[in-house]
């Protein structure tokens, strides 16, 4: 795997670990259907098609860096170095709380997209990103993570168990502390952006209201106000950036934590 350093780490052991040739576990499997699917894409540049086809059998599915505190999540492998964490975004594809497959370059795209947004939104809220020494790797300041995902929505839509439309279509008019009028249609734009928070869980996410978050001690009222305000500001900024490119930002989620000094930081887009 070629390493293209975008920003150097201040810790040489991280640089060395990322570059260890045996640290990356690549998925080796013959995938004729996937290869044929890539070859059938219309309008793709030949060099891009060639690169994707070559990588179908070479996805990054796991890592074993010579670093302490390894923990494997749905998509990311995390290493705990005490004052910071090394996060490797793999090519594993997770959806609907399930690990579905591996997709070539998916980890690089996700990691570098997140790095771009972190850089673009520093004026809104501080974030924990310190460096990206490899396209798949982010070095982050270690934070105490709030056990809440800030799901921000601009439209009445969705198909999962936690989506806004699923609950509204089943008759609910109040969801995660937000009230909605009768007569709304699927995919309708909301009058204003709303937050429908969920608790962070290993196997599935559970919708929760701000009142419950505060009463159950997951966050203080002050921290909730600061983080939720930042989430709405981030989403509004994202909507404007998407609109410049002819796109709609329908919904997304953010995660926040506190650093050692007590500063609330964006830790995940």
Q: Please give the backbone phi and psi of residue 116, each rounded to the nearest 5 degrees, phi first.
A: -65, -45
Q: What is the pLDDT of residues 130-188, one digit of tens each?
A: 999 999 999 999 999 999 999 999 999 999 888 999 999 999 999 999 999 999 999 99
Note the pTM of the prediction, 2 decimals.
Answer: 0.83
Position 213 scores a pLDDT of: 98
Instruction: Check: CB of residue 152 under 8 Å from CB of residue 97.
Output: no
Rounded Cα–Cα distance for residues 166 and 235 (Å): 22
For each of the domains in the chain, give its residue range(s) and CATH number, in order of start.
12-142 (3.30.200.20), 145-268 (3.30.470.20)
Kindly write down the DSSP assignment for every residue of 125-159, as one continuous string: S-B-EEEEEETTEEEEE--EE-SEEEEEEEEE---
From 173, 167, 154, 164, select the one nearest 232 (Cα to Cα).
154
Position 16 scores a pLDDT of: 66
Task: Give the gyration radius of the chain's Cα atoms.
Answer: 20
């Amino acid at each position: 795997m070629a390493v293209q350093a975008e920003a150097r780490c201040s810790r040489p052991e991280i640089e060395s670990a990322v570059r260890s040739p045996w640290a990356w576990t690549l998925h080796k499997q013959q995938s004729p259907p996937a290869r044929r699917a890539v070859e059938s894409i219309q309008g793709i540049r030949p060099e891009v098609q060639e690169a994707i086809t070559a990588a179908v059998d070479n996805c990054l599915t796991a890592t074993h860096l010579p670093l302490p505190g390894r923990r494997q999540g749905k998509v990311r492998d995390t290493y705990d170095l005490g004052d910071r964490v090394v996060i490797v975004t793999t090519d594993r594809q997770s959806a609907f709380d399930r690990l579905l497959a591996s997709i070539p370059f998916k980890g690089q795209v996700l990691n570098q997209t997140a790095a771009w947004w972190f850089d673009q939104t520093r004026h809104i809220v501080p974030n924990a990103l310190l460096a990206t020494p490899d396209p798949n790797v982010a070095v982050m300041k270690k934070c105490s993570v709030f056990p809440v995902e800030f799901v921000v929505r601009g439209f009445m839509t969705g198909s999962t168990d936690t989506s806004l439309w699923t609950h509204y279509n089943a008759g609910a008019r109040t969801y995660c502390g937000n009230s909605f009028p009768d007569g709304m249609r699927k995919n309708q734009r909301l009058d204003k952006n709303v937050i429908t928070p969920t608790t962070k869980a290993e196997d599935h996410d559970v919708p929760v209201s701000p009142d419950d978050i505060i009463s159950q001690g997951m966050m203080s009222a002050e921290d909730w106000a600061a983080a939720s305000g930042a989430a709405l500001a981030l989403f509004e900024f994202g909507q404007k950036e998407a609109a410049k490119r002819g796109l709609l930002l329908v919904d997304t989620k953010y995660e926040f934590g506190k650093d050692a000094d007590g500063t609330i930081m964006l830790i995940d887009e």
